[in-house]
Each structure stands twice: as structure tokens, then as C-alpha cells.
């Protein structure tokens, strides 16, 4: 039987592994795999299928609309007329809004807070999650599960049969054939 658990990389992970070894699970039957965190710059354009929650065009659209309205209003009095001044206001406000969003959000962080759990800087390994796989007998399952839960596992799951693989169109269910 395979038992899977996810942990933060912390002292509790080490305690869980040590406790399992003390209770009779062989070191060769314990596998810990650290997961990499995504490190990426924020995107300028969001799509329907991929959005990071930080939009650089909200401020551009709001200021563009406000400046366009002001351009149309005062365009009745100015020389080029309301249409031209409305378009000038739209473009000027959109550029100003985009630049304010980009620089203000970049330097002062007024947008969505990026927690260490979501993103880390390149080279850091803060709050890395680790997946533990423990191979044990069916009789040891409850003990292994209790040890993992007692050491603050995020989740625990089990696979109580041999994994099935397909190679060259032939199903191998883990049983040896001669």
C-alpha cells in the first residue's frame, strides 16, 4: 500500500520521517519530493484562460474615460471641437492610467499581495511543499496515517493496489506472468 501526504518544508516533516523510521518503516520505503514554486514576472495582458489577478488596464480605462469626458465637455469651447479633444483625452488618460498602474503597483505594491505561499523570488525556497510517499503493509496504514496527521500534514491519501501501467498496448496490473 502507498500512503501519500503533503507537508510544508519544516521541522514537522523531519519529525514525521523520523517517527515513521522509529516505528518500523524502512528508510527505503519513504520518499520525499520537494515541489518547485512558480517564479514569474507579472503579465501585462490577461486572457480568459490565464489571469494572475493583477490588471494593468483598469486604471487606464478609468482615466481614459474620465479624460475623454473632460475633452468632450471642454472641446465645445476649444478650437478643435469635442470629437478631437475627446479622442485626445481618451489616449492621454489611457496612457497616464497605464503608467500610474504600472509604476505605482510595481514600486508601492498596492495590488494583490504576493504571499510567499504563492510566489517566491528566484533562489529562495521559503514554504516549499513536499510530497511524501510511504510504502507500507495494510496493517501499518493506520499507524502511518496517524503519524502523518499528528505532524501537521496538509492532506493524506492512500493507494491500496499496485499501479496499473500500459506498455506497448499491454496492460500490466503488477502481477508477474511467465
Question: Average pLDDT in the 3-28 region?
Answer: 92
Rg (CA), the chain: 29
Q: What is the CATH number of domain 2-35+128-172?
A: 3.30.70.260
Which of 31, 35, 37 is CA-nearest to residue 16?
31
Q: Coil, strand, or helix at residue 159? A: strand
Looking at residue 59, its pLDDT comes to 80
Q: How far is CA 167 from the centre of its chain?
A: 33
CA 45-50-52 angle, to 5 degrees, is 70
Over 60: is that where the pLDDT of 90 sits? yes
Over 90: is that where the pLDDT of 71 sits? yes
Which residues are CB-neighbours of 142 under 8 A, at least 6 positions away?
none
**What is the band of 14 on the pLDDT scale with cuts at 50, 70, 90?**
very high
pLDDT digits (tens, 9 = 90+) for 113-131: 444 444 444 445 456 789 9
2-8/170-172 β-pairing: unpaired
* pTM > 0.85: no
Which of 29, 34, 33, 35 is CA-nearest to residue 2?
29
Over 90: is that where the pLDDT of 166 sits? no
Backbone phi, psi, residue 69, to 5°:
-60, -45
The partner residues of 6 in beta bridges, in order of sequence, read: 131, 155
Lowest mean per-residue pLDDT among 39-48, 78-87, 134-143: 39-48
What is the pLDDT of the chain when averaged over all its residues? 79
Q: Where are the domains of the chain?
A: 2-35+128-172, 52-127
pLDDT digits (tens, 9 = 90+) for 58-67: 788 889 999 9
Amino acid at each position: 500500500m502507498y500512503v501519500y501526504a503533503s507537508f510544508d518544508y519544516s521541522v514537522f516533516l523531519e519529525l514525521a520521517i523520523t517517527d515513521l523510521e522509529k516505528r518500523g518503516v524502512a528508510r527505503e520505503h519513504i520518499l520525499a519530493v520537494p515541489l518547485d514554486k512558480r517564479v514569474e514576472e507579472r503579465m501585462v495582458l490577461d486572457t480568459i484562460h490565464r489571469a494572475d489577478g493583477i490588471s494593468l488596464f483598469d486604471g487606464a480605462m478609468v482615466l481614459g474615460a474620465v479624460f475623454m469626458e473632460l475633452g468632450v465637455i471642454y472641446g465645445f469651447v476649444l478650437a478643435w471641437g469635442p470629437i478631437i479633444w475627446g479622442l485626445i483625452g481618451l489616449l492621454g488618460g489611457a496612457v497616464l492610467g497605464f503608467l500610474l498602474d504600472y509604476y505605482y503597483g510595481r514600486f508601492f505594491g498596492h495590488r494583490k499581495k504576493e504571499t510567499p505561499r504563492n510566489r517566491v523570488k528566484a533562489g529562495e525556497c521559503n514554504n516549499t511543499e513536499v510530497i511524501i510517499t510511504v510504502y507500507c503493509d495494510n496493517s501499518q496504514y493506520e499507524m502511518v496515517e496517524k503519524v502523518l496527521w499528528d505532524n501537521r500534514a496538509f492532506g493524506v491519501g492512500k493507494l491500496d493496489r499496485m499501479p496499473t501501467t500500459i506498455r506497448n498496448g499491454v496492460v500490466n496490473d503488477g502481477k508477474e506472468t511467465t
